[in-house]
Structure 1
């Protein structure tokens, strides 16, 4: 069996098309399948549409979260309900083309545990592509990863891969990072990427940067190490300048005390100290969130 999981948000008009195309593709593949749609508490009528679709097709399982938990938490909610030997994760906006599932599955049968779709001729708007590229630049630098901004969530994953990432108890959920971390035999193949059929992306530049920050703080200690290195650099520079000014004082080359430079130095170092305390505080806050062990999603209804 193949399970297809798709998080749903503002997709009331596109859902019938998505489901119809998935049905056509899966009938051609010839494998048993299930479609799991997860409503991330969309403000439109997506849930009403999902209820109708589930009543018409027993292969469709509809899940509604109690509030908006975010795309990645919605994905994980769907993953907990999968029964298939293979799991496909895809967006609901039809930019991930259902017809590409056949290509991903065929490649997976060559012996891969993970097959990711690499988007060719990405059909997003300029600002969307720019924000995505910026997100992964920042993310790769601070996390030490090598993530390709042309690869998203769309891919096919063996059941053991899904079981492995569901066992990761991190409070901050980021599906591509977990897939990268668990390992297994993986590859990527070029897939067709389409323009958005309806609405606009919920990920603005600011929201992408916030996501990157939260994931990096949750998964990497590099920001702390950067501040340590920066602090050491400031200390070395201060020591060198101290030797230099001592030399000037001994040789009577200082004619006027530098009051303004002293104040600026104090302000500068105070700012660095406050920033360091802030970073440590953020890490402590994330650790506190983790220890509370709150669920990352709550299911309200299932059909």
Structure 2
């Protein structure tokens, strides 16, 4: 049995994949443990999949899966964990921002009995604006989410086999891996490493994509936004009731003619904004229910190392608890 599986999602990483592979193989070879490297090409439109084919052809320890299009990193992580056969599984990126030389340290901590070993990057080298928004986001999720998400804890982590099996047993389509890793529990330890810049290429995580990812995280593990909408509605109702009573009392006691236009417009605009925001929150949850009900596959496989070698093509993975063959 393979002792260690390294899962590496890739999307347009042809500029750095060779340097990453050399560094990773060198580090893993020095550990003396048996290993496999499971690459997942997330629909790249550069030469990434060509390089993965060459790696798999020249080294039996390398396996790969290529998607028919870009399905996103969450789907790539899921496919990689399904591929992995090792007693421990390490998840890491191919851009060398997750230093391969930290893998032996993760293995050593795992030997002390931890099912999850998390490598947390610090914020050195980040811009002030991005750092401020990141810190504010993590403070927000710690307050609202039902699971604990630690600042700097990303996908770079080691999972024991039982932790991986627990993650794979979760059938949901809208996956937020950081939350899933926290939700399954088990003994977890973390350590901090200095933030590393990309070795080549450009980051795939722009501001808009990070914002959407943050919203996914907030909505995936709690229903508190709906509760907040209820509280806001009750607060506005009580405020409006108090204001109405004040107007009536003022008119009765002082005989003041009650002005209405400005007050009415302000109230209508405020209530309309709250209603639209509440409908948007409800719509997000309904949309997720609709997406789950369709039970579409998380991804569609274009080819694998087995398929590329001429062996029978592996069946497609499904999004539900059961797998469907095509």
State the TM-score bracket (shorter-chain normalisation).
Answer: over 0.9
User: Out of 65, 72, 85, which is 1:70 matched to?
Assistant: 72
Between the aligned partners of 1:144 and 1:228, the Cα distance in structure 2 is 19
- The structural deviation recorded for 1:171 is 1.3
Supply the distance in 1 between the matched residues of 2:4 and 2:25 (Cα, whole angstroms): 12
RMSD: 1.8
Q: Which residue of structure 1 lines up, in the alignment, with residue 257 of structure 2? A: 255
User: What are the Cα deviations for residues 214-266 of structure 1, in whole angstroms up to 9, with x where unaligned?
Assistant: 23223321111111111111011112112211211211342343222113212
Query: Is 1:179 aligned to 2:181, yes or no?
Result: yes
Q: Find runs of 4+ consecutive structure 1 residues off by over 6 angstroms.
A: none
Shift of 1:82: 0.6
Q: Does residue 302 of structure 1 match 2:304?
A: yes
Find the aligned partners of 1:78 and 1:4 in 2 and give their Cα distance: 9
Summarize the Cα distance change of 1:131–1:117 in structure 2 as closer, same or farther, 3 Å threshold.
Answer: same
Counterpart selection for 2:46 from 44, 47, 53:
44
Q: Shift of the alpha carbon at 1:6?
A: 0.7
Aligned twin of 1:200: 202
Q: Give the number of the structure with larger relative contact order, counting CA–CA contacts within 8 Å between residues 6 or more apart.
A: 1
SS in 2 for 1:7: strand
- CA distance in 2 between partners of 1:217 and 1:255 (Å): 47
1:230-245 residue pairs with structure 2 within 5 A? 230-245=232-247
Alpha-carbon distance, 1:148 to partner: 2.4
Separation (CA, whole Å) in 2 of partners of 1:193 and 1:75: 22
CA distance in 1, matches of 2:209, 2:99: 25
Distance 2:195 2:61 in 1: 26
Q: Distance in 2 between matches of 1:40 and 1:104?
A: 26
Change (3 A) 1:157 1:125: same
Closer, same or farther: CA 294–276 of 1 in aligned 2, 3 Å: same
CA 285–221 in structure 1, closer or farther in 2 if over 3 Å, else same: same
The alpha-carbon distance between structure 1 residues 260 and 127, as it changes in their structure 2 partners (threshold 3 A), is: closer
Q: Map 1:200-239; keep pairs closer than 5 Å.
A: 200-239=202-241
* 235-244 or 153-162, which deviates more: 235-244
Q: Distance in 2 between matches of 1:36 and 1:124?
A: 30
The CA distance in 2 between the partners of 1:71 and 1:127, in whole Å, is 25
Closer/same/farther in 2, CA of residues 277 and 69 from structure 1, 3 Å limit: same
Q: How many residues align?
A: 303
TM-score, with structure 1 as normaliser: 0.94
Structure 2 segments unaligned to the other structure (5+ residues): 306-326
